[in-house]
Each structure stands twice: as structure tokens, then as C-alpha cells.
Amino acid sequence: MPTTFLDARATAAVGHVVATSATRPVEADTVFEVLAALQRLIGCDLVAFNGHDTPGRRMYHSQVVASGERELASLEELAARDQDDPFWQWYWRCEPCSLPDRVGAPVVVALSDFYTAREWAQHPMFIEALGLDGPLSDELLASYPDAPGRTRRVLFLRHDGTRFDERARFLTTLLMPHIGSLLAEAIAPQPQEDDSLTDRQREVLRLVRLGMANKEVAQALQISTGTVRKHLESAYDRLGVQSRTAAVRAATLDDYPQRISVAG
């Protein structure tokens, strides 16, 4: 029975994911917190949230939690990726990768539904496209339609030799309705407003949106914490707000920062 998967610890973890997914406003650090909670609940080495544009052969979002590190790819970095990458060349021949596009509906599927470990190790997608440092034991995918040809995907990866069981599938399926709207809002275009911020003020607020403290922002930008504070105070004045959260909500932050690593 699926209810046997919901012991007290799992129930609490599911409740945490649901509660966090309902948090507003939706910011990058909110998604990071949900991904980290999912990583603990499902049990995996890496969890990623990607936006796929299959006709365009590109990703329009990439956010990863692995080994205590958090990474958010910039739009420039995603745009620079080669559309002739072997991943897209083998995409339609990799059943679990292309299944969301073929069914056009929410999907929970595992790599092990289609391939044995030996079959996957010999698949061109694994050999030519993924470029992993070590073996990939299994991948569990939760996918949501976003627009024609576009999907939002949460990927769970294991490298420890174990494959995802029915518990992992059940919990992922259970949580899909709750995290789907969060993911949709996380990649929705920001409203375009003339907030008159300087480039440096936007840069500071983009890092604040990642959940970084003033000291971490200063280290990332190689400026003093006092300078960070002055940039924030000036941004508050220009935006007519009184807090970091309100500033992030009011600012027009139509691009992600360059890729940085943030201790989890």
C-alpha cells in the first residue's frame, strides 16, 4: 500500500515541501529550498530543475542542488550552449528524455523503466551526450507541460548503484501538483517596469534573490559589505520599499546572475 511510504518522517518532509511551495513571492532561493528538501526526501545525489524547449533545442532554465552546492545558470550561459550538442542529437532516441514531449501531459518516469544498467551504459546518450564523471545508476524524472514544445522538469540522479523504487515514485507523484505551480512561477517572465535602478543595484538584488547575505554578496562581487548595504539602501529609495524581499519583488530583474556556487 502506498500509505506505508508515509511514515512520520516522510509525512513531515512532504508537509515541508508543500508549505514551502506555497510561499510567496516565488524566488530562486524558494526553489532551491524545495529542491534541497526533495533531495533529502527522495534520496539522491543531485536534483535539478530544468526548462526544456525541444523545438528550439535549448534549455531556458537550469537550477541544480548537489553535495551542498547550489547553482543557477545565467540566461547568457544557456543561450551560448551549442544546439548541435549530442544531447539533442540523441534526444528522440532516448525514451525517458522524450516521453514528456510525446505524451504532452505530466509524467513521472525512471530511466530504469526503459533500460537495464548495462543497456544504459551502452546508450549513445550516456556515452556521447551526458559526459558524466562516473556511472549514472538511475534517473527519476517529473515533467510538466509548460507551452507547446516546452516542459518543466525535475530530475533526480543517483550514482551509488541503487535504482529508484516505488516509494520514490509515489512521493514524487504525490508532490507533483504542489510543486508544479511553484516551478511555473519561478520561470515566468518578470514584469517590465522602469524602476530606474543602476546596473550594480540590479546585480546586488539578483544575488539577494538567491538568498545570499550581504557578506556573501560582497564576496561574490568583490566589494565591501558597507558598499553592498549602500547599494541596497539606494535601491530601497528608488523602489519605494523598506526591505530586501520587497525590493526583489519590485525590481525588474529580467536576467539571472552569472553562474555562482552558494554553500547550502
Look at domain 2-186 and name its CATH class.
alpha beta
Q: What is the pTM of this model?
A: 0.71
Domain range annotation of the chain:
2-186, 199-263
Assigned CATH for 199-263: 1.10.10.10
Residue-wise DSSP of the chain:
-GGGG--HHHHHHHHHHHHHHT-SS--HHHHHHHHHHHHHHHT-SEEEEEEEETTTTEEEEEEEEETTEEEE--HHHHHHS-TT-HHHHSGGGSHHHHHHHHH-S-EEEEGGGT--HHHHHTSHIIIIII--SS---EEEEEEEEEETTEEEEEEEEE-SS----HHHHHHHHHHHHHHHHHHHHHTSPPP-------HHHHHHHHHHHTT--HHHHHHHHT--HHHHHHHHHHHHHHHT-SSHHHHHHHS---SPPSP-EEE-
Domains 2-186 and 199-263 share a fold: no
pLDDT tens track, the chain, 264 positions = 455 677 888 888 888 888 888 875 677 788 899 999 999 999 999 999 999 999 999 998 899 999 888 998 877 778 777 777 888 999 999 999 999 999 989 999 999 999 998 898 888 988 887 765 566 789 999 999 988 899 999 999 998 889 999 999 999 999 999 998 888 887 776 555 555 788 889 889 888 887 788 998 888 888 999 999 999 999 988 888 888 888 887 776 654 444 444 443
